[in-house]
Structure 1
Amino acid sequence: MSATNHAQKIKQDSKDYLTTALFQLLQTKCLNEIKITDLVKRAGVSRMAFYRNFETIDEVLIEYFEPKIQSLFDAVILQIPTTQKLQELAYFFNEFSSELTLAVKREYEFIIQRIFNKHMTKFYFDEAPKRWPTIKENELVYWTHFMSAGIYAIWKEWFLDMDRSTLVEVHDLINKFQNGTALLLLADKKTEK
């Protein structure tokens, strides 16, 4: 193994140890109660190892959740059939249910929501002009934020109380909200003429 590969392996190991340690600490503490000193001690790495990889503790969680949420959006963006999309959603919620519950309980859900919003914004800015080309850019910005916050709230509500509705019902409801609000914006265009 070359020196570069060895250094990369050590760097990745440090990240893995820090991530594991952070989730262990989050079992009993809220995110804002955890200090870098606590984290590096639990992970068995130096402060220098932490700062070689991250600037803040939040970044550990961002790096952990970003690829998971990205893969979920990739399934949507690739325009896969609805049944496959629903399978991806079901897998996501099953696979990460304890982590998402912990995020709410330990007050770092804002990190997941920020990642979600970033991907929603990208999705809508890529997709909406194709589907609804007459929506003005400033309306698209506001509509995207409105949809992102609403969709996140719906998924969170469903996730915390899955017995109320099926995954299919929630997916269909989100589609109705998305299409309905977009059509309202388009209807305004027709009445303005």
Structure 2
Amino acid sequence: MAATDHSQQIKQDSQEYLITALLQLLQTTNLNDIKVTQVVKKAGVSRMAFYRNFETLEDVLIAYFKPKIDAEFKLVINRVPQNEKMTALGEFFSEISNTMALAVKRNYEFIIQNIFNENMTNFYDVVLNWNDFSPIQRKYWTRFMSAGVYAIWREWLVGGQKESLNDIHTLIADFQTATLKALENEKHR
């Protein structure tokens, strides 16, 4: 049992070293220009350790971003009280704003957006009753809202967060409500 715990700790350490190394390299280099060799050298681990943990450099970034983004969506899905949710979102956005700007600059924003889109689909599947909607309405409304919500958060984060978090949150809620009502009205025509 102790050997298993030890090997798990080594694996976790290797993952953390690789994530840290890649994030450091991304400070000065585009994702497309970084090689696994550079990451393992900076992390102080072997190529074998890399491939035991990840298949691609994108997988390293997914391992970093997915738990963070998933946790924020979990707060919303679990209907955490508004003040707690806004505090957690504020901390999250404060932490991720520089990273988001870097993701845009270094060509790995698509990873964040894909994780966000997966979470938006899951969110709408959990919180909305889709029984009265067609599969086409469900699919495309979810994609529409996901793209729009992402674009608002992205603009707000990269644009320096000039508006309050509460104002942005309210704006998104208003858009969701209005477009859902429009979709409901469409089925009654």
SS of 2:29's partner is coil
Deviation, structure 1 residue 56: 0.3
Match of 2:21 in 1: 21
Deviation, structure 1 residue 163: 4.8
Distance 1:163 1:46, change over 3 A: closer
Q: What CA distance in whole angstroms lies between the structure 2 residues aligned with 1:84 and 1:182?
A: 26
Which of residues 133, 136, 150 is equivalent to 1:135? 133
Instruction: Name the Cα RMSD after superposition.
Output: 1.4
Q: Which runs of 5 or more residues in structure 1 are unaligned? A: none
Deviation, structure 1 residue 8: 0.9
Deviation, structure 1 residue 83: 2.3
Q: What CA distance in whole angstroms lies between the structure 2 residues aligned with 1:96 and 1:10?
A: 27
Q: What CA distance in whole angstroms lies between the structure 1 residues aligned with 2:80 and 2:6?
A: 39
- Any idea what the Cα deviations from partners look like across 1:134-188, whole Å, max 9, x if unmatched? 2222201110000000000000111122454211111111111101111011111
1:86 and 2:86 are equivalent in the alignment: yes
Distance 1:133 1:48, change over 3 A: same
Match of 1:179 in 2: 177
Q: What CA distance in whole angstroms lies between the structure 2 residues aligned with 1:64 and 1:23?
A: 9
Number of equivalences: 189
Deviation, structure 1 residue 3: 1.1
Which runs of structure 2 are paired with 1:26-175 in the superposition (5 Å)? 26-129=26-129, 133-175=131-173
Contact 1:30 1:106 in 2 (8 A): yes
Contact 1:65 1:112 in 2 (8 A): yes
- Any idea what the Cα deviations from partners look like across 1:115-146, whole Å, max 9, x if unmatched? 000000011112221xx642222201110000
TM-score by structure 2 length?
0.95
Q: What CA distance in whole angstroms lies between the structure 1 residues aligned with 2:42 and 2:153?
A: 33
Q: What CA distance in whole angstroms lies between the structure 1 residues aligned with 2:18 and 2:177?
A: 42
Q: Which runs of 5 or more residues in structure 2 are unaligned? A: none
Q: What CA distance in whole angstroms lies between the structure 2 residues aligned with 1:162 and 1:101?
A: 10
1:188 and 2:160 are equivalent in the alignment: no
Contact 1:58 1:111 in 2 (8 A): yes
Stretch deviating more after TM superposition (86-95 or 107-116):
86-95
Deviation, structure 1 residue 46: 0.8
Q: What CA distance in whole angstroms lies between the structure 2 residues aligned with 1:59 and 1:5?
A: 24
**Seq. identity, %:** 53
Contact 1:40 1:50 in 2 (8 A): yes
SS of 2:122's partner is helix
Deviation, structure 1 residue 73: 0.2
Deviation, structure 1 residue 72: 0.3
Q: What CA distance in whole angstroms lies between the structure 1 residues aligned with 2:126 and 2:136?
A: 15
Contact 2:100 2:158 in 1 (8 A): no
Contact 1:125 1:140 in 2 (8 A): no
